[in-house]
Amino acid sequence: MVVSAHGQVQSIPVQSLVSVPVEVAQSLVPANSGNGAQALLDFKDSDIKFSLRNLMDLLRDHQHEGWVLAAYPDPKTNRPLIGAGFSLDVQATDHPQRDPLNPHPFLEPSSAQLWQAAGLAPARLQEILDQFNRNAAAWSKKTYRRKIIRHTLSPQLTDEEATQLLRISAIQAVYNARAYCRNFDQLTAPQQMALTQLVFQMGTNLEEFVEFRGAVNDLDSSRELPRLDGFIETDADHWRTVQQTLIDSQWARQFTVRASTVIAMFDPEYVRDPYAAQLRVAAVLRPPVQPRRRRPSTATLRNASYSKRPAARHGKKAAHSQIRRKLT
């Protein structure tokens, strides 16, 4: 296992995804819950251009979400997470669609509803939360981190169960990515994957990325034409604008490595040369540090000044001998 800077752990990638039978998941989701979980259960891999499994493997990486099979505190909020950053105590959220040109709704069920949609028993969720609360009361964040690093946290989920939670969360992110982007189905596979990653990490906080959302939906440059006197963006220009809105964000400065990967995927040339696309973004996010010229220390300056003034230290005789040596 590998530990991230936030204390999250990467496990060995799963070799296969365990699918929960739809009838089992449906039996665990109340029919009158109104949480839209059925839409997640109806998801088919053919609904997207990218591989959902590849996205899940990426999210499990220690530079993205990590992989911990016991409840642990979010590094920022201290709220309980498990697996690849699955939130254990989120309440269902009303997330209205404010874009009149996008008919696709948002879906923000509670953690308990997603838990059941993944085919896990509700009682186990409460048990894990109760244990987390006891641990949080007894341990500091440093203690929690130390236990994760030393692998002394007892697993509360199997690898397969955590994978099911990750799968249902990733499907929810795909669903909401369509609600954020009018032309989601027309995006390239890497662009769909990048937008889904942003939704997975940020959730409803992506609402605050106004410039990004405006740019990603402005495919025909209708917002720019009146202002730029008829200038028409090329496809490459458009996606550079989209990338720049993310590069200028606080998120990109805070999560530089992860941001480089995600932002690069919006490049239309990413499919042809992913490595070059990532280098272009990384060069902007992490410019090479210019070496600073070292200033001579005080001792060095003092010694240099002494060596230039032999007469001051050794008298006139020393000065005359210095002259003779130069002449001979």
**DSSP notation for 25-90:** HHHHS-TT--S-HHHHHT--GGGSSS-HHHHHHHHHSTTTT--EEEEEE-TTT--EEEETTEESSP
Phi/psi-derived region of residue 94, left when phi > 0, alpha when psi is between -120 and 50, beta in every other case: beta
CB 307 within 8 A of CB 300: no
CB 216 within 8 A of CB 181: yes
CA 85, CA 64: separation in Å to the nearest integer?
Answer: 9
Q: What is the pLDDT of residue 232?
A: 67
* Predicted TM-score (pTM) of this structure: 0.75
CB 2 within 8 A of CB 9: yes
Provide the β-strand partners of residue 316. none
CB proximity list for 293: less than 8 A, separation 6 or greater: none
Alpha-carbon separation of residue 108 from 38, 111, 195, 228, 298 (angstroms)? 13, 9, 17, 38, 63
CB 102 within 8 A of CB 182: yes
Provide the β-strand partners of residue 72. 81
CB 198 within 8 A of CB 262: yes
Owner of token pair 């941001």: 259
Phi and psi (nearest 5°) for 83? Answer: 65, -130
Closest Cα partner for 115 from 80, 141, 146?
A: 80
Question: Is 285 in a helix, a strand, or coil?
Answer: helix
Q: How many CA atoms lie within 13 A of 172 on its CB side?
A: 27
CB 165 within 8 A of CB 83: yes
Closest Cα partner for 191 from 50, 55, 53, 60?
A: 50
CB 135 within 8 A of CB 144: yes
Query: In this structure, what token pair is assigned to residue 161?
Result: 């169960």
Per-residue pLDDT tens, the chain, 328 aa: give them: 333 333 343 333 333 333 444 343 443 343 334 456 788 999 999 999 999 999 999 999 887 888 999 999 998 889 999 999 999 999 998 999 999 999 999 999 999 999 999 999 999 999 999 999 999 999 988 898 898 888 889 999 999 999 999 999 999 999 999 999 999 999 999 999 999 999 999 999 999 999 999 999 986 555 555 555 556 668 888 899 999 999 999 999 888 888 999 999 999 999 999 999 999 999 998 765 566 666 655 555 555 555 555 544 455 554 455 444 444 4
Query: In this structure, what token pair is assigned to residue 197?
Result: 């990653």
Closest Cα partner for 61 from 254, 177, 200?
A: 200
